[in-house]
Each structure stands twice: as C-alpha cells, then as structure tokens.
A and B are shown apart, each in its own frame.
Chain A
C-alpha cells in the first residue's frame, strides 16, 4: 500500500546514542545558532569590540597608560556576562517558548547532558570571543603578563559558571518577553554600575561595595589583578563568583521549567 516507505523502513531498532555524539550535536548546533543570530552577535562580539577599541583610544574614562591593559579585563568581563548571562537567558527563554527544551527532553538525551550541552555552547562562544578580543587587543598594543593568563582563564571559567547559572535561572523561569527585557536591563545596569566599565575604585563608595558583591564586579576585579599586575586574583572575587554559581545553580535546579 505504501509507496513512500518501503517495508521494513521503520522496523524498530531503538537505543540511546553515544553521549559524546549527543553532546557534540546539541552544543554544536546551539553554538552555530548563537553565532548566526544578529542580535546575539551584536551583544557578544560587536559591542565588546567597539568598547575595547573605543575605551582604549578615546580618553572618556581616566585610565593608567597603556589604556588597553586596563580596558581588556573590563571587556572580557563584559564578554562573559553577555554570553553566559544575557545571550544565554534570552536564547533559553525563546527556546522554551518554541518547545525545544521539551523536544530534547523527549529524546534519549539525559537531563544533565541537556544542561551540559548548553554550557558547552556558552564556553564555545566564549572561546570565540577570547580569540577575537585577544587579537584586537594585541593590535591595540596589549601585551599581557604571561604569569597572569592562567589565573585569568580560571576567572573566566568562574564567571561563566556564575553568570551561566544566573542566565539559566532567568531564562528558565520567566516568559520569553520578560526574559528579554530583564536580561538586557541587567546587562546595561551591570555594565555601567556593576564594576565593569568603571572599575570599583572609581565608583562611589556605596555603589562600589554593592558592585564588589555582584558577579560583574567580582569578575572584572578578579581579571584586573592577573591581567594588569600579573598576580593571583584576591580570594574575595573568587568567593563571590563561586557563591553566585552555587546559589543560582541550586535555585535553578528547582525552579527551571521545560516550557
């Protein structure tokens, strides 16, 4: 009877795919989607590059020379926040709206791998950002202290954990439009008042105290020590980022909804 489907086409042969292939397929697709979405690229690459060049070349904020050395930690903190928090929350909000989280949960993909795939996609975009921003900064005369690079990488990972957990919490609980509004508003507020563009020591004392306890301030400060001075980050920023990651991750595990 069937002309389209030869007999035996659908003879059952079920089973779960290999974990590595599942992770690669999901994370690879989510990375490609993030890198070809215009608004997300604006947020994750264009704005950080413009700020990196602008703050290094234009003297709008007083910074020690060479200016680019002070700008790089700010811009890397911004890049991590943009990708792990804002871009990820918005993507998750709309992914839920379009039913893809449920679609993937309906496959053999284990729940933990679903989360791991999203985080892997975030890390992949962050790697792209680090490469592009690193090259642009080098062209602007940035010569980082090699001793600090390992510490900086650790801070980037901690920043991804803290902002990623917050992004999943936000994107996984509110309606897509609300996620869009809140994620962009928080991004803007933390960029200006959260210790990213304006270092903590140049903010008013009250705001600086708050910003130091925020993931934005902690990440930017934690990057300044290794990248500007070539020293280990203070224990403060590390603890702040770990605390945000643990608390937001714990709440997210309970609160995130598939739809």
Chain B
C-alpha cells in the first residue's frame, strides 16, 4: 500500500513536469491561414496530362478503351503552357500541339476566390470555363481542370487536364 502511494505521487510529479514544460510550446503555437486557392492556381502551368472522355460512353459503362483517349500519346504537349498572372491576365502557348482551348491571351478569373469551382479564360467575345475537378494536389503544385463540351445542355465530352505548376 505504501509503495502504491509513492508510485502515484511520482507519476503526478512527472505529469506536472511534462505539462509545465509544454506550456511554453503551446503558447508559441499559432495557426497559419491556409494559402489562398488563387495563389495556388496562378502561375506558369505546364500540361502534364490530357485525356479526352466520351461522356456518353462513360455514363453507359462502355469498355474503358471506348470511354477515353490519352491525347498526350498522340500529340506532343510538352511545350503546352498556361500562364495565369497575378494581375489577372493570361497567355496560352500551345507549342507544337493543337490549341484545343481556342484562345491565346486575355484575362482570367475564379468564380469563388476561396473555394473556386471554375477558372474562366476571357478573350474578346470568348469565355472559356475550365472546371476545377479537385483540390487534391494543389499544395504540391498539381492543378486538375476539366474542359467540358456540352450540347443541348448535356455534357457530351470533356478534356481532363492536369497541369504542373512551375
């Protein structure tokens, strides 16, 4: 019985010592605001993957080889780059690949700076929406966008784009 009481007092002293030593660390711990999505998305983005989907085939569960095509295996997109500048301007350089987005320069914007769902490229009378597919990879400099093609209000095909921020 006496041994147990001594053991408990010893534990108590140890715990107090631990808590006392942590208090300074806790006081020094501050939470930093997460980086804004706009700053994560903007910059020089090089295209690392482009897959064309037939959304009709996808919805019907057709075999995978009928659902999509990896266009990067058929065209050289290594120099395809999208520059989203902090001043709101953009330039698109397709290099030797087809410019399937159809615009080269103009202004860009987000529908929601905190939780963006769409990056819009504006050039003259053209307004090209690029849907943000996921925030996964943003912190690592990976931006996943979808260039959707609609007909009669229905999604018929899409281009799944993965950019790497330089």
- Do A and B form a real pair? no
Write the residues of chain B forming the contact surface with A, with a CB cutoff of 8 angstroms.
none
Write the residues of chain A forming the contact surface with B, with a CB cutoff of 8 angstroms.
none
